């Protein structure tokens, strides 16, 4: 059985003091054996602070981004080796905001996935369609293309997580219908089986897009989904833990 993974993507929020306060509260809430895997994704300057706070706890540390190259003249970027030194376990690759705002294409995202995997960390490949693509019946072809190029050259799916995040549901307050998320997750699972065979069974598929305590159960109780990538609602530790509890199996 795949242990659900519920991840808190803080995006560009919180100061060091706010991060410490948040993590103290979260760790007060989370029992030693939470029954679900939790991960927190602070912005880069907060990673050392978060690493210290989470040491020895059941909550994992994640990074929101990475550059595919191990080193070089890439001002403002961060390598996977630098993340690994901080104790990072998970790395987001191809979040829709990176694709849209920073023009990251599927091949560049695939380079990130391979770099993260090669370093022994776990990539979370984010895939999802826009509203226009869904309305015109292209949701699956778009996601399939993102999977194909995002996982190109990846020999083993060990540690891989796929986050389905319909772009039109991110930060809008409008979540996808659970039936839509279920159908897409089933298609992703079938594609992964074709690509990786039995090794695909360990790959977790998350849902992301306006997940909050009020609707989390509708998604996280679906057998096709193995957790959630949470944005705005994850900024409150109580709300984040409330969401995580609905994923416990």
* pLDDT tens string 9-36: 999 999 999 999 999 999 999 999 999 9
Q: Which of 37, 95, 97, 104 is catalytic?
A: 95
Contact of 27 with 60, CB cutoff 8 Å: no
Token reading at 46: 């907060």
Q: List all residues 6 or more positions away from 226 whose beta carbon is below 8 Å from its beta carbon.
A: 2, 3, 4, 5, 204, 205, 206
Q: b/e map of 54-79 (b: 16 or more CB within 10 Å)? A: beeeebbbbbbbbbbeeeeeeeeebb
pLDDT band (50, 70, 90) for residue 249: confident
Closest among 187, 225, 232, 231 to 204, alpha carbons compared: 225
What structural domains and CATH numbers belong to the chain?
Answer: 5-24+31-227 (3.20.20.70)
- Find the catalytic residue in 104, 129, 133, 165: 165
pLDDT tens digits for 59-76? 999 999 999 999 999 999
Tokens of 247: 């994923």
Q: How far is CA 166 from the centre of its chain?
A: 13
pLDDT at 128 over 90: yes
**What is the mean pLDDT of the segment spanning 118-146?**
96
Compute the radius of gyration of the chain from its Cα atoms: 17
Reported as type and span, the H/E element at residue 7 is: strand 5-9
Beta carbons within 8 Å of 19's beta carbon, 6+ residues apart: 42, 46, 49, 50, 53
* 228 in Cβ contact with 206 (< 8 Å): yes
Catalytic residue list contains 224: no
Range 243-247 average pLDDT: 97
Closest CA to 168 of 124, 212, 135: 135
| pLDDT tens figures, 153-177 | 999 999 999 999 999 887 777 778 9
Query: Which 3 state secondary structure label does DSSP give 60?
Result: strand
pLDDT at 149: 98
What is the Cα–Cα distance from 154 to 19, expressed in whole angstroms? 34
Share of the chain above pLDDT 70, in %: 100
CA angle at 105 for the pair 79 and 161, rounded to the nearest 5°: 65
Write down the residue that tokens 């991960």 correspond to: 39
Give the chain's length. Answer: 249
Cβ(65)–Cβ(92) under 8 Å? yes
Longest dimension (CA), the chain: 48
Q: Report the pLDDT value the prediction gives residue 75, as an integer from 0 to 100.
A: 98
Pairwise CA distance, residues 9 & 165, whole Å: 13
Q: Kindly report which listed range (71-75, 123-127, 168-172, 229-233) carries the lowest average pLDDT score.
A: 168-172
Examine the residue annotation and report whether 77 is marked as an active-site residue of this protein: no
Q: Which residue(s) pair with 161 in the sheet?
A: 124, 204
pLDDT at 161: 98
Q: What pLDDT shows up at residue 172? A: 73
pLDDT beyond 90 at 94: yes
**pLDDT given for residue 248 in this prediction:** 87
User: Measuring CA to CA, which residue among 140, 141, 143 is closest to residue 128?
Assistant: 143
**pLDDT of 1 over the 90 cut:** no
Q: Is 45 left (phi over 0), alpha (psi -120 to 50) or beta?
A: alpha
pLDDT of 51 reads: 98
Per-residue pLDDT, averaged over 210-216, amounts to 94
Confidence band of 110 (pLDDT split at 50, 70, 90): very high
Is pTM beyond 0.85? Reply is: yes
């Amino acid at each position: 059985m795949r242990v659900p993974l519920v991840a808190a993507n803080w995006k560009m929020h919180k100061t060091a003091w706010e991060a410490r306060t948040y993590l103290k509260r979260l760790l007060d809430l989370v029992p030693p054996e939470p029954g679900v895997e939790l991960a927190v994704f602070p912005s880069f300057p907060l990673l050392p602070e978060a690493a210290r706070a989470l040491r020895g706890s059941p909550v994992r540390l994640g990074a929101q981004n990475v550059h595919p190259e191990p080193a070089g003249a890439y001002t403002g970027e961060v390598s996977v080796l630098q993340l690994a030194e901080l104790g990072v376990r998970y790395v987001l690759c191809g979040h829709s905001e990176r694709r849209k705002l920073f023009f990251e294409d599927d091949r560049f995202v695939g380079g990130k996935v391979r770099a993260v995997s090669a370093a022994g960390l776990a990539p979370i490949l984010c895939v999802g369609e826009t509203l226009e693509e869904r309305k015109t019946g292209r949701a699956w072809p778009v996601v399939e293309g993102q999977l194909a190029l995002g996982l190109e050259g990846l020999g083993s799916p060990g540690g891989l997580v796929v986050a389905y995040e319909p772009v039109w549901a991110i930060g809008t307050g409008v979540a996808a219908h659970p039936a839509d998320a279920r159908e897409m997750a089933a298609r992703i699972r079938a594609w992964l089986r074709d690509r990786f065979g039995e090794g695909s069974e360990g790959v977790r598929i998350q849902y992301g897009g306006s997940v909050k305590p009020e609707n989390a159960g509708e998604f996280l109780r679906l057998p096709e989904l193995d957790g959630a990538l949470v944005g705005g609602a994850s900024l409150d530790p109580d709300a984040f833990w409330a969401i995580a509890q609905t994923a416990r199996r």
